[in-house]
Amino acid sequence: MNLFFLAALSTSILPVQPSQPNRQPQLAAAPGLTALAFGSGNSIWFAASRDNGHNFSSPIQITQGAVLALGRHRGPRVTISGDAILVSAVLGKSLAAGPHAHGLPSDGDLVTWRSTDGGMTWSQPTVVNDVPAAAREGLHAIAAGPHGEIAATWLDLRATGTKLYGAYSRDNGASWSKNVLLYESPEGTICQCCDPSIVSTGNGKFQVMFRNVLGGARNMYLADWDLSMPVTKVQKLGVGSWNLNACPMDGGGLARRGKSLVTAWRRDETVYLDDPGQPEVALGEGKDVALALSPKGPYVAWVSKSGIEVHAPSEKTPVCLSPTGSFPALANLPNGSVLAAWEEDGQIHLKVLE
């Protein structure tokens, strides 16, 4: 019996703009604060919970841009560092042209906004990429460490081929370093439309997961990034391989708790859970994978033909979170629960998994 859903309450964020759906929710949590960021049209919104995700404040608009990269794992990200909340997104002034433009900006930059009053007011934008329009693909990730360090990573187009770049802050997001090349494939490009993931491992160190292109295969790889040094080695995740001459537009999830690191991602039509260096474990068929690592173990959410499914550490089989939802996000809560957010009917729905 799937007890972890029975005691959980759910809430929703109604559309914040007429005729524009709320899209691409992202979560972050710290003691006393759970943060939600999402997009609507070309605007970015924030809401906060003070009761471990059961209730959220009315959304506050952070900014309105000309063109916001949104959809297919694009859109805003959020993290919490000390007393600062940081929201990031890729914005531009003009639409890209062509059959594969996907509504993206032709001049997209990775931009951050910072709040030190719980999300009530926000700073002026700060551009992270130091070559204009290099982040225009719109796919990025951001994470905070324990001592004021924040790291961002994104798919970069400053030169021929897609490369993995990063930048970091050591003052809770107030300022950013020069950009750092984290990885370039010897074949000229990494996977062009799969979002990366990033997590802190403490002491100014982070791990970054991305989909590579090597030998005709598009597999997930993990890079260790010490902010004081260049990345010199990456490792493939999983034993199997996915030969594919296309981009699946699907990254996955990366989570760490203490010394435990787990990853979850899609290969072909199957969702896998994987401890780096170990054989992967198949969970089910689907795409658009999200991951959180609670004290009980990993929670994995994905979208299947039946809707959003969740695999919990206490369950042998996944259960349906929503039959019509899409693009789930997961976050650990300070009380040991996991919060899920997803798109559905133009709203952002949220549910605490207990």
Nearest Cα neighbor of 353 from 325, 311, 317, 306 is 311
pLDDT digits (tens, 9 = 90+) for 153-202: 999 999 999 999 999 999 999 999 999 999 999 999 999 999 999 999 99
- Whole-number Å distance between alpha carbons of 196 and 221: 10
Q: Which residue has the higher pLDDT, 150 or 260?
A: 150
For residue 46, give the DSSP letter: E
SS3 content of the chain, % helix, strand, coil (to 5): 0, 50, 50
Nearest Cα neighbor of 126 from 70, 67, 181, 62 is 62
- Whole-number Å distance between alpha carbons of 231 and 180: 9
- Whole-number Å distance between alpha carbons of 45 and 49: 14
- Options 3.60.15.10, 3.30.70.600, 2.120.10.10, 3.40.50.2300; CATH of 3-353: 2.120.10.10
- Whole-number Å distance between alpha carbons of 28 and 286: 24
| Sign of the CA dihedral running 164, 135, 243, 329 | positive
- Whole-number Å distance between alpha carbons of 287 and 301: 9
Q: What pLDDT was estimated at residue 8?
A: 52
Q: List phi, psi (to 5°) of 274.
A: -145, 130
User: Percent of the chain having pLDDT more than 70?
Assistant: 97
**Burial zone of 136 (CB within 10 Å; 0-12 exposed, 13-18 middle, 19+ buried):** buried
pLDDT band at 9 (very low <50, low <70, confident <90, very high): low
Half-sphere exposure of 30 (CA within 13 A, CB side): 17
Instruction: Look at residue 200 and give its three-state secondary structure.
Output: strand
Q: Report DSSP letters for 215-264, one per residue.
A: TTB--EEEEEEETTS----EEE-SS---B-SS------EEEEETTEEEEE
User: Percent of the chain having pLDDT more than 90?
Assistant: 88
Q: Which two tokens stand for residue 46?
A: 């924030």
Mean pLDDT, range 306-315, rounded to an integer: 94
Reported pTM = 0.95
| 3-state per-residue secondary structure call for 102-139 | CCCECCCEEEEEEECCCCCCCCCCEECCCCCCCCCCCC
pLDDT digits (tens, 9 = 90+) for 206-222: 999 999 999 999 999 99
- Whole-number Å distance between alpha carbons of 87 and 83: 13
pLDDT at 205 over 70: yes
pLDDT band at 315 (very low <50, low <70, confident <90, very high): confident
